[in-house]
Amino acid sequence: MEKYEILGLVGEGSYGMVMKCRNKETGRIVAIKKFLESEDDKMVKKIAMREIKLLKQLRHENLVNLLEVCKKKKRWYLVFEFVDHTVLDDLEMFPNGLDYNRVRKYLFQIIKGIGFCHSHNIIHRDIKPENILVSHSGIIKLCDFGFARTLAAPGETYTDYVATRWYRAPELLVGDIKYGKAVDIWAVGCLVTEMLIGEPLFPGDSDIDQLYHIMKNLGNLIPRHQELFYKNPLFAGVRLPEIKEVEPLEKRYPKLSAAVIEFTKRCLQIDPDKRPSCADLLQCDLFIKDDFAERFTQELKAKIQKERDHPLPKKSKISRKDKDDSGDERKMLLIQD
Ligand code: ADP
């Protein structure tokens, strides 16, 4: 690790911190993720090992590139290519939302990245604005695979894991142990409107409030999820909210186009079995209309090539604000099942 010079802190998560560093020999700028002391904390070790294992397997232009892994004095360090900023930084800069074309370009790549993970039977499980990195020329790189995991085999169940409440699908909220790729599709649905409007779609301040937000716009849970809710000891004595009048998304956000509403509603099917795959999503009007997918694929190829040839911009457009501990609910929350 001596070969790296620390330039500053770019992010802090529940299990470590991310620093911007320069390789003193090559001058290359990297992001180094330093995990907390690992030896005495089994959870941190498990998360670090999982992230390393998955990232070594997963190489794709829309996933953050792991350059090397080091261990020093009981700590694990992951060295990544440095990526300019996150979608959360964009949203902080444009609090009323990002423009439609930029959102389409981001979404297209987010879905490609998730689709690649899913094709390797890996679910990300924590898709949210701060885990979506954006390069200086607009190339998306998904990061934070600490909670990603391979799909459970039939009969196998998932144990404890951590996820951010606002992007959590109903099956996770009620404690369904049989969930799958559809949880990432749900998170994409929450992201679309947030990127366009600038406000989180379902900003619940507790798990029950989260369900209330969801049901207010999308209606009742499916019977299986209702049953699971009433069996879940975490909700003992609590009743599911009764929604007198559902406010559909098109009514809540009248300015959003029909293509956006259609896309969002497909991602936010309350029944996970009805949610589309990433491949299906890429066939939505949002991408097919005006030949966007075709045109953008060409544009993207050129951009990726250009970034390979010139990895560092002369000057970054967005300078990162110092990360403060805003205390909002985007934080990680522990689900035990
Ligand atoms: P944690 O698992 O501790 O939450 P993340 O992998 O989510 O760590 O990274 C935390 C933050 O660090 C991200 O939200 C982002 O701001 C920043 N970050 C992560 N990876 C990179 C990278 N490769 N380049 C630049 N910034 C990064």
Q: Which of 30, 76, 77, 144 to mutate to test the pocket of ligand 1 (most atoms within 8 A of CB)?
A: 144
* Residue 20 reports pLDDT greater than 90: yes
What residues are annotated to the active site?
126
The per-residue pLDDT for 75 is: 83
For the segment 114-166, what is each residue's pLDDT rounded down to a tens digit? Answer: 999 999 999 999 999 999 999 999 999 999 887 777 666 666 666 555 568 99
Ligand 1 mean position to 243 CA, how many Å?
38
Considering the entire predicted model, what is its pTM? 0.89
The per-residue pLDDT for 331 is: 34
* Residue 12 reports pLDDT greater than 50: yes
Ligand 1, pocket residues at CB < 6 Å = 10-11, 13, 15-16, 18, 31, 33, 64, 80-83, 86, 130-131, 133, 143-144, 146
More confident residue, 57 or 18: 18
Separation of alpha carbons 218 and 302, rounded Å:
40
Indicate the average pLDDT of the chain.
87
Give the model's confidence band at 92: pLDDT under 50 very low, under 70 low, under 90 confident, else very high.
very high
Ligand 1 mean position to 289 CA, how many Å?
34
For the segment 209-263, what is each residue's pLDDT rounded down to a tens digit? Answer: 999 999 999 999 999 999 999 999 999 999 998 888 999 999 999 999 999 999 9
* Residue 76 reports pLDDT greater than 50: yes
Give yes or no for a contact between 180 and 273, defined as CB atoms under 8 angstroms apart. no
The per-residue pLDDT for 314 is: 46
Query: Which region among 16-20, 39-43, 215-219 has the lowest average model confidence (pLDDT)?
Result: 39-43
**Homologous superfamily in CATH for domain 87-289:** Transferase(Phosphotransferase) domain 1 (1.10.510.10)
Under CATH, which architecture does the 4-83+311-330 domain have?
2-Layer Sandwich (3.30)
The per-residue pLDDT for 151 is: 66
- Per domain, the residue ranges of the chain are 4-83+311-330, 87-289
Indicate the burial class of 18 (C-beta count within 10 angstroms; 0-12, 13-18, 19 or more). Answer: buried
